[in-house]
Amino acid sequence: MPVSDPIADMLTCIRNAAKARHRRVDVPASHVKEAIVALLAAEKFVSNYKKIEDDKQGLLRIYLRYNEENEPIIKGIKRISTPGRRVYVKNGEIPRVLGGLGTAVVSTSQGILTGQAALQRGVGGELVATVW
């Protein structure tokens, strides 16, 4: 069945897998999803990911991170801009998530960036999601 918002579907899969204490989760792959997961890996919200090729579009296998008490590193993940309501922010309007403890995912003309990286580069864009 086709999904109307594949990015929100991926974020929901990650959120549900973290709450269920799964070590990994598989989601259908795309270039945008891979860029978002690479950003999450660079920010240490997930431990690793890899793309699994198949005869169709492929899969992204995302390995989740947990602390010493077996609690997920990702406490919350929220889709901000949706297909029905796009949210664009200027450079100075990029929100700080939990006072800097979380990160904003921004789709810019220079690629998918964290809110901090977008501020440093002086670009705005579509506010895709927030992660904390």
Cα 49 off chain centre by: 12
- CB neighbours (10 Å) of residue 79? 19
- Global pTM value: 0.91
Q: 27 forms bridges with which residues in the sheet?
A: 60
Q: Is the pLDDT of residue 118 over 70?
A: yes
CB 41 within 8 A of CB 47: yes
Task: Output the six-digit token pair for 60.
Answer: 């992204």
For the domain covering 6-64, report its CATH number.
3.30.1370.30
**Rounded mean pLDDT, 78-100:** 93
What would the pLDDT profile of 8-25 be if each residue is shown by its tens digit? Answer: 999 999 999 999 999 999
Q: How far is CA 6 from CA 11, 18, 96, 111, 119, in A?
A: 9, 18, 25, 18, 27
Q: Provide the b/e sequence for 14-43 (b: ≥16 CB within 10 Å).
A: bbebbeeeeeebebbbeeebebbbebbbee
Task: Output the six-digit token pair for 120.
Answer: 């440093």
Q: Is the pLDDT of residue 92 over 80?
A: yes
Give the CATH class of 77-131: alpha beta
**Rounded mean pLDDT, 63-88:** 95
Sketch the domain layout of the chain as residue ranges.
Answer: 6-64, 77-131
**How far is 34 from 111, CA to CA, in rounded Å?**
12
Q: Is the pLDDT of residue 1 over 80?
A: no
